Amino acid sequence: MTLWAAGLVAFALAFGMGPVIIPQLTRLKLGQMVREAGPQSHLKKQGTPTMGGILFLLPLPVVVAIFDRQSLEAWALVFLIWGFGLVGFADDFLKVALKRPLGLRAREKLLLQIILAVVFTWVVGQVLHLDQNYVLPFGLGTVSLQWWFGPLSVLAILGSGNAVNITDGLDGLAAGATAIAMLFFTFWGVAFHHNTVSLVGLAMAAGLLGFLRYNVHPARVFMGDTGSLALGAALAGLAIVSQTTLLLPLIGILFVVETLSVIIQVISFKLTGKRVFRMSPIHHHFELGGWPEERVVSVFWVFSILGALLAWW
């Protein structure tokens, strides 16, 4: 009952804050800039308010404070998620408010992310003494990470944060896919009696469902780097504390494919001068192939569900 009450609180806050926050973002002229090199259908999205990730980030500490305030593990997750969210917020603010197109410099952003990832990993590993026996995919048992725990955890956080950021290019795509992954962690936490994982997972999933009311096509607000970096950190953080880091490529399979499509495109063009995809990330490839945006998103959501089911299996 407590778990579902937490989900209801998160959903109600995210959904209820939309009519308050979105007009304020519009009034402050915090609108998304759209690249002219992207799909032409996206040009009409120019000026749509961004930084909307605060809609699903604000409920998280409220839910933890009400339902799990004694858990250092829960607050460590809040620290990581909000830390990445604030890095994204700074990046968004520089882009849309100060008109600095590239936002934070790449090295600045990476340094801040590394600091946050290292602090979180140290807390869960050295302060909370997290069990370092991690689940292998496809029922192959567990493996002790030992000294690999630290580097793998930091790498997972950095990679996940930026993979969700790459994926966030269509209305509702990243939010829906991440909500699916968060529901995986919710059920995993329930099945293995890990209350913090189930609570934080459901709080994030419910907050995202509330946010999706305003983010599905045609989107009234974008999550921005504020949301996408935070969501990636949330995925990795929950995977680390639930000992499922090695399942993360399946849990977040869409984000892996999207990121790989960018890497493949860059390598192919540098080596051969030819592109493998019409445009990367791969969701743009399907758009330019004539798929409506809503179809790309719905098919990719189904793909995300299949990945989560494979991870559970």
Q: What is the residue whose two structure tokens read 């743009």?
A: 284
Residue 290 lies in a domain: no
Per-residue pLDDT at 239: 98
Q: Return the pLDDT at 119.
A: 98
- pLDDT score for 227: 96
> Is the residue at 202 inside a domain?
yes
Q: Domain containing 97: what range?
A: 2-137+145-247
> What is the arithmetic mean of pLDDT over 32-44?
60
Per-residue pLDDT at 89 exceeds 60: yes
The CA dihedral of 96, 217, 297, 302, to the nearest 10 degrees, is 130
Domain assignment present for 298 = no
d(CA 239, CA 235): 6
Question: Does 101 sit behind a cis peptide bond, omega within 30 degrees of 0 on the bond before it?
Answer: no
Residue 130: phi, psi to the nearest 5? -60, 140
Confirm or deny that 165 is annotated as ligand binding.
yes
Q: Is residue 305 part of a domain?
A: no
Residue 18 forms part of a structural domain: yes
In a domain, 276, yes or no: no
pLDDT at 40: 56
- The verdict on residue 190 lying in a domain is yes
Instruction: At 135, give phi and psi (nearest 5°).
Output: -75, 135
pTM (two decimals)? 0.93
Percent of all residues in the chain with a pLDDT value above 90, rounded to a whole number? 78
Total domains in the fold of the chain: 1
